[in-house]
Each structure stands twice: as structure tokens, then as C-alpha cells.
Amino acid sequence: MDGQLKNRSGAIIVVVGPSGAGKDSVIGYVAQHFSGRADIDFVRRVITRPSDAGGEDHESVATDEFDARLETGDFAVAWQAHGLKYGIPREALERVHAGRILIANGSRGALAQFRQVFPKVVVVNITASPQVLAKRLVARGRESEADILRRLQRQAPDIPDAADATTIDNSGPLDIAGSRLVALVAELQGTVQALCSAARQT
């Protein structure tokens, strides 16, 4: 990709963090705030999880179908976690190249893929205190207490120190963390607009 095309591109915000940190809730807050905006969009992931399992709105597929789509290049980024497979549809890359800001629920272990594939990546690490994480995981009801303890004891991959990474604590009221992400999205959208305008004038 040449520099001029890259300047005309948008960006993807990859939201990561431990289970129970409230990534879906924060993303939902942002989606409501920017509802109706054509330049700010959200990624619907493909997951080998039943559609009625709760949580985010996703495209549910069987493992065989996921593997076949991965083989044919349907995913821009794909990874495995907690016994499931996750995919970011390739059309998300097309939307970024069209100048949009995309927001995706990602994975810390897949950040290298995102950075390799997308022209501009901003990482948002949603965190919460261990007590809050445990309480939310219990309320979710997807795992046994023993499974939850094992999940919390696992050492998650660190977020590399980088200019593109921001940490937001979601231990408190949702509107606090949500407003922080809204502000980050708005700032990034302004930067992308300025770059696109400069590219059109060259």
C-alpha cells in the first residue's frame, strides 16, 4: 500500500481485556452514543459459539464452517481462546480502507495480527479490579466457580508498551469508562478526517 492510500484510510480500535471487564458493555455504550454515524462502525465477529449464548451480537458458525472460511481467506484476523474460534470478517478491512473508524472486540493474543493487517490500529485495554471481575463472571453464569478461579489465576498476555495503547478501568459505573472510550473515538475520528482532507489536497 502506498503512503497516499494509507493516509486516506481509517482505523480500527481493538478493545481487549480480561473476561468480566465489561468490554461488550463499554462497546455498547459507545455504539449508542454514535448511533447513526456512517463514519464510525462496529465489527460483528464470527464465533464458534451458539447465537443464544448471551453476550455480544455475533455470527454463530460450526467449527468446520469456520475452518473452511479461514482457508478461503474470509477473515482478516482469526484466533482461538477458551475453546472457541473467533474471526474478524475481511470486509472490515475494506471499511477501514474506505476511511471509517471501526471498533472491534479483539484479543490481546491477536494484536500482532491486527497490527500486521490493518493500516492503523488503536488498542484499548478494558480492565477491572479482581473482585469486580469475579463478581461479574459469577453473575454471567457461563462457568463454574472452579473454572472462574482458574480463569482469573491465568496470567494474561501483557499489553506491549506502545503509543497506540490506552487502558480504561471499568470497575465503576459504566458511563465513566464509556465516556472515556467515546472521547478516544471522537479524537481518532478527527485525526482521520484531517489526514483524509490533507490527502485529497495533494
**Number of structural domains, the chain?**
1
Is 169 inside any structural domain?
yes
Structure confidence at residue 135 (pLDDT):
80
Residue-wise pLDDT tens for the chain (202 aa)?
Answer: 334 344 458 999 999 998 788 999 999 999 999 999 989 999 999 999 887 766 678 999 999 999 999 999 999 999 998 889 999 999 999 999 999 999 999 999 999 999 999 999 999 999 988 888 878 777 776 666 667 666 666 645 556 556 678 999 999 999 999 999 999 999 998 877 766 666 565 5
Is 8 inside any structural domain?
yes
Is 74 inside any structural domain?
no
Give the integer Cα–Cα distance in Å for 190 and 202: 19
Is 165 inside any structural domain?
yes
Is 80 inside any structural domain?
no
Annotated binding residue at 18? yes
Residue carrying the nine cell digits 480502507: 97
Residue 161 is given by DSSP the state: P
Q: Phi then psi for 100, rounded to 5 degrees?
A: -85, 160
Contact 99, 196 (CB under 8 A): yes
pTM of the model as a whole: 0.83
Annotated binding residue at 55? no
Extract the C-alpha cell encoding 12. 480500527
Give the integer Cα–Cα distance in Å for 197 and 165: 25
Is 84 inside any structural domain?
no
Structure confidence at residue 7 (pLDDT):
44
CA 22 to the chain's CA centroid: 12
Can you give the CATH number for the domain in which 123 is found? 3.40.50.300
Is 193 inside any structural domain?
yes
Structure confidence at residue 191 (pLDDT):
79
Give the integer Cα–Cα distance in Å for 57 and 54: 8
Annotated binding residue at 22? yes
Annotated binding residue at 60? no
Annotated binding residue at 87? no
Annotated binding residue at 51? no
Structure confidence at residue 198 (pLDDT):
61
Annotated binding residue at 160? no
Give the integer Cα–Cα distance in Å for 81 and 140: 18
Annotated binding residue at 158? no
Is 180 inside any structural domain?
yes
Instruction: Show the domain range for 186.
Output: 3-44+93-200
